[in-house]
Amino acid sequence: MTAERLPTRRFLGRNLSAGPDQSWLELFYDLSFVASIVVLTGSYSRDKSWSNSMWLLLVACGVWVAWLETTLLTNRTTLTRFWPRVLTVVQMALVLMMSITADDTTGDHTELTGPLFAIVLVTIALQYFAALRQQPEHRTYLTHHATRVLIAAGIFVATPLYGDLWFWLPWVIGLALIVFPGRASNVDETIDGHHLVHRFGEFTIIVLGEAFLKIGLVASEEPLDRVDLIGLPLTFAVIYVIWWLYFTDIAPSGLPEGIRRRRWWIAAHLPLQVSLMSLAVGLSLILNPTVNAVDAQYMRMILVPLIVIATSFAVLNASIGSPLAVRRARVHGVAAVALLLAFGVLQVFGRLHESTAAITAIAVLGVDAYVIRRLDDAAPEG
């Protein structure tokens, strides 16, 4: 999407822009989510228990929802005024603080995570109300959506009261209230498809880049002679194949036609991008000399996210609905099944090194990419 030119004002005889173009604001906004993902994956690296994994999954979903809500707003509204942009910066700081408090390995401060997320939601609601000045014709849609976000904020304020047993319940209810689709309106047809596809592609690049960051951190923390340098090209190959599949398959296909298909397309990015965060930690373990090579847990941390990623690719293609996309969806579905079968076999032979999981992933995803390429070559032009 080409950003709208902002209003100008005169100062000492020169025309000055009212602020950076919206595309620059969005890229600046993404920096906070880069840092948040680093914090969340760092916490996951230190504590890989099921309880901590589920907790971090909830927080990662909250971070993703905050990004999604702001992205959908900026898709329809150009934030030209000063205070909506200040709210964006405040939200950035709050998202990072929320991710920092979610780290349960450094102190008992996770009770702050829900209330901080509540304040994040308040900033989003205020941005929706501010958008009324630019789009008064969409008052019903904007006020309804802002109200739902504020109700969810009220739920998250009370999350410390639920204790350790039922802490997940208000998170699930609150997140569902925000993302659960309401009644379709004509506003849903005003989405800028090019902008939205581009934004999701940018966020996918962010989470893929997190894998490189984790690999670099692990490699730099150990003496070079103790780092598994054979595993380095394996990790890069896995990341490259995923990048190739997304940006030669999903992104060029564009946004699906129809409100329901678009909602499925957006929703399928959540498991895809959260699994990429988890995969970054799993791949970094290949280089770690302290990892116990006979522990099948580490193969699970590579193959399970990849199964979800392949399934997400299948759903994304199915939501597009074209004959070629449906054939692609079947190929990705077969890849997901193949990874699942490989995971079962490697679990039986659990004494295999975790590099075996990476090699298996490269083989399956490589065949997947090859078949997709053949489908594209065989498809009629236009």
pLDDT at 5: 44
Mean pLDDT of 350-376: 81
Structure tokens at 3: 């950003």
Report which of 133, 262, 132, 124 is spatially closest to residue 189, judged by C-alpha positions: 262
Decide if pLDDT at 9 tops 60: no
pLDDT band for 16, please (50, 70, 90 cuts): very low
Domain regions of the chain by residue span: 20-190, 193-378
Which of the two residues, 201 and 191, has the higher pLDDT score?
201
Is 93's pLDDT higher than 90? yes
Distance CA 44, CA 38 (A): 10
| pLDDT tens sequence across 103-145 | 876 556 678 899 999 999 999 999 888 888 777 777 777 888 8
Q: In which residue are the tokens 């997190």 written?
A: 210
Round the average pLDDT of the chain to a whole number and report it: 81
At residue 10, the pLDDT reads: 45
For 165-190, what is the mean pLDDT? 74
pLDDT of residue 301: 80
Q: Looking at the DSSP assignment, which residues form a beta bridge with residue 10?
A: 15
- Please name the residue that has the structure tokens 């780290």: 103
The answer to whether residue 18 scores a pLDDT higher than 60 is: no
Measured between alpha carbons, how far is 171 from 152 in angstroms, rounded to an integer? 9
Neighbouring residues of 49: CB distance < 8 A, sequence distance ≥ 6: none
Task: Taking residues 331-348, report their average pLDDT.
Answer: 87
Mean pLDDT, range 265-288, rounded to an integer: 87
Does the pLDDT of residue 13 top 50, yes or no?
no
pLDDT at 296: 54
